[in-house]
Chain A
């Protein structure tokens, strides 16, 4: 069975600083990996996805993520954080041929002036 670990429950960064949110997955075959963002009381918005190919994927809102098979990681990065990026971020993994996506517990991002 697949699983996702997000080791950081809460992260605080200053506006304009760089950001990296960590995600580690467990899955025997090639994983399908996702990052979603959720603002308070809202649904989830897909930031980016990795299915295959280039291990550095670009997403919306200036985010990118890098798939590292050797480390079983799919960390999310942004070079300069904006106050509007404050939200909950979920990493997720899916298994090919199935429709179930497993979410991590989420990382809450706080942005300070």
Chain B
């Protein structure tokens, strides 16, 4: 199974709402990633969890809060977002160490619209 799943597929939220994005993988990978992708742009790394610990935070605003409950699950909690946060949010996973850490498998993404 080489699949990364993400829910929901689409999300519309107001600027005062609290919502969460979910990501799941069953490949035994020990690293998981959140990316943000604006239209016609490459993915931008937001967070990396390695062995369930946050290893990289690319100076992401605190209105985005990641969580890794276990090695298969990754959440992104959203609160008080701005319209400019509207984007496709991609989850990815990879092996935790070595060359395999760079070979990332992506989910289909959650299309987020902030109104």
Partner-B contacts on A (CB < 8 A): 32, 34, 36, 41-46, 49, 51, 90, 94-96, 98-101, 103-106
> How distant is the Cα of A95 from the Cα of B105 in the complex, in angstroms?
17
Please classify the interface of chain B as helix (H, G, I), strand (E, B), loop, or mixed, using the class held by over half of its residues.
Answer: strand
* CB pair B41 A43 closer than 8 Å: no
Interface pair A100/B45, CB less than 8 Å apart: yes
CB under 8 Å from chain A, chain B span 30-83: 31, 33, 40-43, 45, 48, 50, 55-56
Q: How far is the CB of A44 from chain B (nearest CB, A)?
A: 4
Partner of A96, one of B56, B99, B103: B99
Residues of B within 8 A of A94 (CB): 102
9 closest cross-chain pairs (CB), A and B: A94-B102, A103-B42, A43-B106, A44-B106, A43-B108, A99-B101, A32-B102, A43-B109, A51-B99
Chain A residues within an 8 Å CB radius of B105:
46
Enumerate B83-101 residues with CB–CB distance to A below 8 Å. 88, 90, 92, 94, 99, 101
B residues less than 8 Å from A49 (CB atoms): 103
Tell me whether B21 is interfacial, beta carbon within 8 Å. Answer: no
A99 CA to B102 CA, complexed, in Å: 6
- The interface on chain B, measured as residues whose beta carbon lies within 8 A of the other chain's beta carbons, has a size of 28
A-B contact pairs, 28 of them (CB 8 A): A34-B102, A34-B103, A36-B106, A41-B111, A43-B4, A43-B6, A43-B108, A44-B90, A51-B99, A94-B102, A96-B99, A96-B102, A98-B102, A99-B48, A99-B55, A99-B56, A99-B94, A99-B101, A100-B48, A101-B45, A101-B102, A101-B104, A103-B42, A103-B43, A105-B41, A105-B42, A106-B40, A106-B42
Is B109 touching A42 in the complex (CB atoms < 8 A)? yes
Tell whether, in the assembled complex, residue B56 and residue A44 are in contact, meaning their CB atoms are under 8 Å apart: no
The chain B residue with its CB closest to the CB of A36 is B106
A34 to B106, CA, bound (A): 13
The winner among A36, A41, A43, A45 for most chain B CB atoms within 10 A is A43
Most buried by A among B42, B108, B109: B42
Residues of chain B within 8 A (CB-CB) of A32 are: 99, 102
